[in-house]
């Protein structure tokens, strides 16, 4: 039965398909034979998952975690149980967060399985039965009707006005009209008119078909496989932190070993030398860094939640700030997913219609002037569109929705904007007969009784080619004149260039009480054209502008028609006004012939990808990542899920999005508002900036402490600071000083600069030089004051207390230099972060406690200082601000020289 898998069923004759599956069109399958055994249940299978225990312990496999475990072990060896417990607690927090953020693909697969579970009406042994969809097998004959979820991939045998909503797979906003004609073999999914696919919805009509694929062999099953096969991308931050941590780990171990080796060579006590090595390791390890990363990201999550962006994966906050390209789905993301009439052509005049979505509030304008109800021609075309209609508008808690076809809904809304009253029109023009839309005829007609004039009117709407053939007259200035098709076709061409969907509307007075085929050939009066589109969200237009201003490339990826997508892209400034269609747009069918290298080259100019399939969306994301781009992918359909998961950050729509898309994403927009993406990117940039500020602030201390220990061992000097004092410095300053940088509000010009280059190291050379300058300043200042205190007759405990305070207060004043890394501290607003001011105050108070409280003196071997020593410490600490300013000034001079 292997030959029954993966065939191009849409290109085969139905009778041949029925024979292949040994089925019968009328009686269905007579015997299941081995089909149930071979094909199995009609539900998605999944590959074996790692055990929860293994996933938990894999979270420890990280260089930064190794450093923290080393720090915890070292402090435990020093019998500093509280410090050891705190550091180990940070490890556990990081591990638990990482563990809870895993299994994204598994959740997406579970959502897909739920989507596939439904019931089906099946013919077996000549009997019609209701069957759980999981028991379907290829060859089953299935009956479909309006409102039914399609239970498997089905090749259609009989069709009666069938329309299927396939937006979850194709991204098209309009329901697809189905038929039974054979399709070419190499045709994209959205054009396979003789197929229905598992998980899609029948919106109109009836059909009979034969099941050709179930479970993982369906189109939705292929998407499940894509989700499983995509790999989670490391974020720019995790990549840089991992690389940075490995380097730091090697440097710390090498320096600790070197310190121990030098100490032994100088015939120092092995125990003392070992403790000095431990002190160096403790000093060099930035214990506060992992906690700062976690807390910074968590605060970013909280801020974003207040802006309707829900983060599912913690590092995604920072990734947002590094995004270089946004790949956005069109339908429902950039657009409203609500068809809306934007233009009307009647009586040889053009009109525009304002308003958004299905809300019947708006105006009909001609040259900017509102048209009132006295315009007879406008009233005729709008009333005709309203009456020749099978849909209706409903108000659900102030939100307007359409029951029925979106195109018909757009006609209802345009008539109501003109002021037509639904009940009054229906009473004045009662329906007598109806001829539904059929794909082969390309029109719909209704027969209505004009009560006031006591006459019957056939109203007609459909494709312009078909309707114009039936029209002999047109309505112009309340007069019926012979039709002039030239201005109509000219206007049609203009609408087509804008990617608008156009319906022609006509009427005919008759004496008949039934619609007859003979009446639908000629004699109609052309009323005009109504042109519509799924309009862009206004807030999305603004978000695109802000994103482009921030140096971010925007690419539209859609299953919709190319010209429509290109027109929307122009309206939203995704492509420039003078952009050429052929240079800016690429079809899914054209992608098939491109190699990966050719696609990467095309991405330099192409901004719109149309008629693409799920595998192609994934390929686009991969190609962008191959160019070194940090890619954000937005979407709401099942067809978006694999690309959402593969992207550096997947962004799903919370209201209109499918559960599959949400589970595959890193971030969910709870209001489906594209503008939230721009806000999220801004927040991401602030988060990254604040982390860089913290790292720039904390590393000089670790460097200074390490150098102090190293110098003491090499020169055979007394240690200016003890290991327990180093721990005090690192932990207290990280909490009360460094963590306060997390709350920095961010630069006002942050969205005016280009995205950070993903290839750049976590610290620029400018920051490295600043770290070295401050680190050596700490080394010099602490040794100078330590030796000065000893030479002045003070005890070692007193001198070490001076050295500790030198470190702490240099860090305190250096903190203000780190508020703005590119701006002078003397031009920085130091009052825009109240948390920082509170932290500085608390740090000063607890440092005074460290120095002057007796129990602190006992624990940390410190001693009270006199006022003159305090003044010397403060003066030297303030000096760091001027040292950094001089360094920045000299750098600018050198760069501008």
How far is it, in rounded angstroms, from Cα 367 to Cα 143? 52
How far is it, in rounded angstroms, from Cα 330 to Cα 581? 17
Reply yes or no on whether 329 is catalytic. Answer: yes
Instruction: Write out the two tokens for 447.
Output: 């027969």
Q: Which of the 8 DSSP states describes residue 313? A: S
Let me know how many helices (H) and strands (E) the chain has, helices first.
32, 28
Q: Where are the beta strands (DSSP E) in 70-220?
A: 119-124, 127-132, 141-145, 153-165, 176-177, 195-196, 201-213
Tell me how far CA of residue 763 lies from CA of 167, 446, 472, 697, in angstroms.
45, 71, 75, 12
Number of Cβ within a 10 Å radius of residue 478: 10
Q: Annotated catalytic residue: which of 83, 165, 329, 666?
A: 329
Q: CB–CB of 610/565 below 8 Å?
A: yes
Q: CB–CB of 872/785 below 8 Å?
A: yes
How far is it, in rounded angstroms, from Cα 211 to Cα 547? 46
Longest dimension (CA), the chain: 121
Q: Which of the 8 DSSP states describes residue 863? A: -
With 0-12 / 13-18 / 19 or more C-beta atoms within 10 angstroms meaning exposed / middle / buried, residue 81 is exposed
Q: CB–CB of 447/457 below 8 Å?
A: yes
Q: What angle do CA 232, 233, 238 make, to 5 degrees?
A: 120
- Residues 6 or more apart whose CB falls under 8 angstroms from that of 721 comprise 279, 283, 705, 708, 709, 729, 782, 800, 803, 804, 807
What H or E segment, with its residue span, contains residue 691?
helix 675-715
How far is it, in rounded angstroms, from Cα 768 to Cα 121? 70
Instruction: Write out the two tokens for 653.
Output: 């729509």
Q: Is 431 helix (H, G, I), strand (E, B) or coil?
A: strand
Considering only CA atoms, which of 403, 390, 389 is closest in space to residue 358?
403
Angle, helix 219-229 to helix 614-626, in steps of 10 degrees: 20
Q: CB–CB of 664/639 below 8 Å?
A: no
Instruction: Write out the two tokens for 634.
Output: 């937005």
- Residues 6 or more apart whose CB falls under 8 angstroms from that of 660 comprise 108, 111, 112, 115, 223, 227, 638, 641
Which residues partner with 128 through β-bridges?
A: 123
Tell me how far CA of residue 827 lies from CA of 212, 296, 692, 830, in angstroms.
71, 25, 20, 9
Helices (H), 737-795: 765-791
Tell me how far CA of residue 820 lies from CA of 241, 319, 570, 735, 767, in angstroms.
22, 21, 38, 20, 12
Angle, helix 723-736 to helix 81-100, in steps of 10 degrees: 50
Instruction: Please give the torsion angle defined by the CA atoms of residues 422, 428, 432 and 437, in that order, rounded to the nearest 10 degrees.
Output: -40
Which 3-state string (H, E, C) describes 701-739?
HHHHHHHHHHHHHHHCCCCCCCHHHHHHHHHHHHHHCHH
Q: Which of the 8 DSSP states describes residue 332? A: I
Instruction: Write out the two tokens for 289.
Output: 């860094």
Considering only CA atoms, which of 619, 634, 707 is closest in space to residue 334?
634
Residues that are catalytic:
329
């Amino acid at each position: 039965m292997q030959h029954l898998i993966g065939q191009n069923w849409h290109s085969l004759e139905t009778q041949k398909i029925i024979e292949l599956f040994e089925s019968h069109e009328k009686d269905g399958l007579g015997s299941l034979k081995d089909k149930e055994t071979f094909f199995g249940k009609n539900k998605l299978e999944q590959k074996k998952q790692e055990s929860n225990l293994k996933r938990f312990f894999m979270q420890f496999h990280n260089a930064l975690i190794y450093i923290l475990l080393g720090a915890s072990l070292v402090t435990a060896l020093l019998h500093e149980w509280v410090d050891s417990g705190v550091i180990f607690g940070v490890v556990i927090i990081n591990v638990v967060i990482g563990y809870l953020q895993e299994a994204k693909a598994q959740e997406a697969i579970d959502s897909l399985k739920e989507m596939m579970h439904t019931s089906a009406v099946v013919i077996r042994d000549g009997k019609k039965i209701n069957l759980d969809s999981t028991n379907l097998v290829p060859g089953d004959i299935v009956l479909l009707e309006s409102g039914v979820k399609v239970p498997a991939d089905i090749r259609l045998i009989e069709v009666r006005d069938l329309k299927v909503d396939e937006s979850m797979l194709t991204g098209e906003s309009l329901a697809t009209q189905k038929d039974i004609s054979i399709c070419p073999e190499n045709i994209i999914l959205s054009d396979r008119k003789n197929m229905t696919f598992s998980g899609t919805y029948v919106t109109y009509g009836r059909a009979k078909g034969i099941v050709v694929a179930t479970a993982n062999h369906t189109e939705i099953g292929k998407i499940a496989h894509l989700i499983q096969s995509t790999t989670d991308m490391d974020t720019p931050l995790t990549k840089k932190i991992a690389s940075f941590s490995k380097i730091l780990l090697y440097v710390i171990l090498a320096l600790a070993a070197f310190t121990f080796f030098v100490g032994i060579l100088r015939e120092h006590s092995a125990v003392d030398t070992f403790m000095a090595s431990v002190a160096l390791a403790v000093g060099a390890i930035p214990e506060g860094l992992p906690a700062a990363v976690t807390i910074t990201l968590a605060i970013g999550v909280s801020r974003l939640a207040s802006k309707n962006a829900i983060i599912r994966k913690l590092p995604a906050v920072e990734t947002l700030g590094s995004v270089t390209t946004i790949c956005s789905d069109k339908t429902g993301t950039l657009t409203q997913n609500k068809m809306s009439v934007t233009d009307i052509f009647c009586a040889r005049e053009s009109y525009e219609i304002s308003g958004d979505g299905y809300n019947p509030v708006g105006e009909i304008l001609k040259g900017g002037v509102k048209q009132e109800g006295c315009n007879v021609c406008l009233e005729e075309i709008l009333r005709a569109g309203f009456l020749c209609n099978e849909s209706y508008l409903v108000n659900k808690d102030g939100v307007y929705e359409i029951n029925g076809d979106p195109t018909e809904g757009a006609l209802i809304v345009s008539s109501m904007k003109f002021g037509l009253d639904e009940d009054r029109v229906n009473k004045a023009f009662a329906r007598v007969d109806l001829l539904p839309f059929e794909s082969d005829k390309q029109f719909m007609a209704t027969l209505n009784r004009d009560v006031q004039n006591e006459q019957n009117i056939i109203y007609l709407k459909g494709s312009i080619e078909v309707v114009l053939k039936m029209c002999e007259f047109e309505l112009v200035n309340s007069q019926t004149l012979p039709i002039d098709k030239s201005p109509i076709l000219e206007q049609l061409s203009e609408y087509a260039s804008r990617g608008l969907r156009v319906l022609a509307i006509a009427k005919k007075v008759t004496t008949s009480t039934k619609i007859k085929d003979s009446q639908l050939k000629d004699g109609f009066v052309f009323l005009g054209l109504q042109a519509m589109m799924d309009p862009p969200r206004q807030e999305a237009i603004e978000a695109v502008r802000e994103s482009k201003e921030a140096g971010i490339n925007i690419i539209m990826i859609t299953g919709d028609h190319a010209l429509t997508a290109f027109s929307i892209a122009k309206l939203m400034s995704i492509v420039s006004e003078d952009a050429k269609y052929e240079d800016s747009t690429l079809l899914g069918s054209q992608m098939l012939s491109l190699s990966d290298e050719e696609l990467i080259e095309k991405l330099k100019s192409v901004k719109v990808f149309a008629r693409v399939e799920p595998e192609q969306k994934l390929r686009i994301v991969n190609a962008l990542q191959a160019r070194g781009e940090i890619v954000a992918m937005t979407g709401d359909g099942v067809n978006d899920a694999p690309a959402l998961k593969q992207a550096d950050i997947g962004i799903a729509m919370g209201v209109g999005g499918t559960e599959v898309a949400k589970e595959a994403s890193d971030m969910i927009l709870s209001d489906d508002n594209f503008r939230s993406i721009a806000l999220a990117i801004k927040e991401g940039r602030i988060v990254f900036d604040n982390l860089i500020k913290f790292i720039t602030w904390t590393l000089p201390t670790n460097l200074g402490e390490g150098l102090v220990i190293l110098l003491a061992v090499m020169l055979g000097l007394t240690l200016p600071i003890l290991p327990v004092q180093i721990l005090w410095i690192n932990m207290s300053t990280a909490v009360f000083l460094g963590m306060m940088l997390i709350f920095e509000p961010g630069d006002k010009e942050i969205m005016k600069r280009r995205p950070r280059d993903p290839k750049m190291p976590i610290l620029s050379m400018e920051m490295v030089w600043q770290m070295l300058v401050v680190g050596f300043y700490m080394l010099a200042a602490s040794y100078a004051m330590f030796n000065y205190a000893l030479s002045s007759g003070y005890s070692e405990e007193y001198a070490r207390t001076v050295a500790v305070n030198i470190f702490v207060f240099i860090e305190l004043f250096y903190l203000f230099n780190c508020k703005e890394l590119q701006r002078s501290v003397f031009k920085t607003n130091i009052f825009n972060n109240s948390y920082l001011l509170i932290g500085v105050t608390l740090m000063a108070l607890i440092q005074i406690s460290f120095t002057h409280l007796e129990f602190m003196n006992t624990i940390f071997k410190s001693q009270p200082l006199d006022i003159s020593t305090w003044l010397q410490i403060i003066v030297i600490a303030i000096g760091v601000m001027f040292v950094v300013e001089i360094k920045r000034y000299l750098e600018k001079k050198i760069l501008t020289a």
